[in-house]
Amino acid sequence: MSKQLGVYIHIPFCVGKCAYCNFYSVAGSDALMPAYQDAIIKHIVEHSPQLDGYLIDTVYFGGGTPSYFGADRIACIFKALKKHCHIARNPEITIEINPGDAAIADFGKLRDVGFNRLSIGVQCADDTILKRIGRRHTFSDAVETVKIARQAGFENISVDLIYGLPAQGRESWAETLAGTIALEAEHISFYGLKVEKGTQLYEKRESESFPDDDTQADMYLYAVDALARQGYTQYEISNSARRGFESKHNLKYWLCNDYIGFGPGAHSYIGRRRYSVIQDVDKYIERVNTGRDVTENSEEISDQESAAEYLMLRLRTALGISEKEYFLKFGGKINLVLELLRKFESNGWSLFEGERWRLTPKGFILSNTLIGEILEAQEKQWRKDAH
């Protein structure tokens, strides 16, 4: 029986770099688009024999800005994937869209070729803040984009939001959530701003006014509660959805399932092997066309590392972890981890339900610290059991 596999296809092109963006993307390189389309199709075709034992049940086109790349090019790439690989029945096929980038005809082309899920980068409902972070659209553009997507037949729409933006307060965030909920999307992601090196916001960090940590924590908890009251259930640290509309593709990352990435900067995890593709669109095109390897940072994941990733990634989800599940997967104990989770429970950071431990929304706020402590406890357990 074929194993299930998720496919990620990276489209690095965009009009301009957003002030917060730390993903690999290139602006002003539109002339490379035809060559890139040919290269990524060639990469997929050459790699397809290695995927004969897999059934692809999720595909995700991310970026960059896939909608800027154009519906015709996207459709051509996806047709090549369908032709040369095994696609499951009723797969989840997602493309990231920037508000205002696609017309009704583009959405129609995407639907016709098989796309059934959109991820729309709204980010904020305040047009002043949108302009401040380098977004080209207005919130009205987002409203119109959702409208024409519905007209084209899309019944699974996700909206991305960011909290903790410059000059964004609690009231502004509440208005963004209210405006987003009114869009009636099936899925809403809400990410805390990370000001990372290499971004425009990092260069301007001293002159910008960001919400402090306490305000951001309040924003996060408010989002979880506001969305829950409107029928959105939190299933991952930064994602809530209506029942049955959780992102199947993103869950592959958190549940340590197999996935493969095509395009510069894309990551893969197949059969305990993890690797990435070079972050250079010119080199990527050149190497694919000359038959050279495009991968880098390849590593085999040990049993011990896999067990640590189980704890680290599952605790980002509402599913959480199970002592029995851990033992069946890795044959080890997590007594010290369980002691720590009981301690967290007394602080309201964790919860035990149905033989599973998970972090609460308050625990998710502190997840980096809490999961770090859990991994230290697991390492102590390994050392203890080894003697």
CATH code at position 167 = 3.20.20.70
Domains of the chain: total? 2
Judgement on whether residues 139 and 221 belong to the same structural domain of the protein? yes
Domain boundary among 233, 254, 275: 254
Q: Residue 212 falls within a domain, yes or no?
A: yes
pLDDT at 387: 64
Contact yes or no for 20/195 (Cβ under 8 A)? yes
Judgement on whether residues 109 and 213 belong to the same structural domain of the protein? yes
At 253, is the pLDDT very low, low, confident or very high (cuts 50, 70, 90)? very high
Residue 119, beta-bridge partner list? 96, 158
Contact yes or no for 219/164 (Cβ under 8 A)? yes
| Cα torsion 261, 122, 26, 32: sign | positive
Contact yes or no for 372/312 (Cβ under 8 A)? no
User: What range defines the domain where residue 373 resides?
Assistant: 322-386
pLDDT at 1: 45
Judgement on whether residues 227 and 349 belong to the same structural domain of the protein? no
Judgement on whether residues 218 and 70 belong to the same structural domain of the protein? yes
Residue with the larger pLDDT of the pair 386 and 41: 41
Q: Residue 290 falls within a domain, yes or no?
A: no
Q: Residue 314 falls within a domain, yes or no?
A: no
Judgement on whether residues 61 and 162 belong to the same structural domain of the protein? yes
The pTM for the full model equals: 0.95
Going from the C-alpha of 256 to that of each of 157, 191, 227, the distances in angstroms are: 24, 21, 27
**The token pair that represents 97 in the structure block:** 């869209």
Q: Residue 226 falls within a domain, yes or no?
A: yes
CA 286 – CA 91 distance, rounded (Å): 32
Q: Residue 229 falls within a domain, yes or no?
A: yes
Question: By C-alpha distance, which of 99, 218, 237 is closest to 164?
Answer: 218
DSSP type of residue 232: P
CA 187 – CA 243 distance, rounded (Å): 9
Q: What is the pLDDT of residues 151-165, one digit of tens each?
A: 999 999 999 999 999
pLDDT at 348: 97
Q: What is the pLDDT of residues 17-63, one digit of tens each?
A: 888 988 889 999 999 999 999 999 999 999 999 999 999 999 999 99
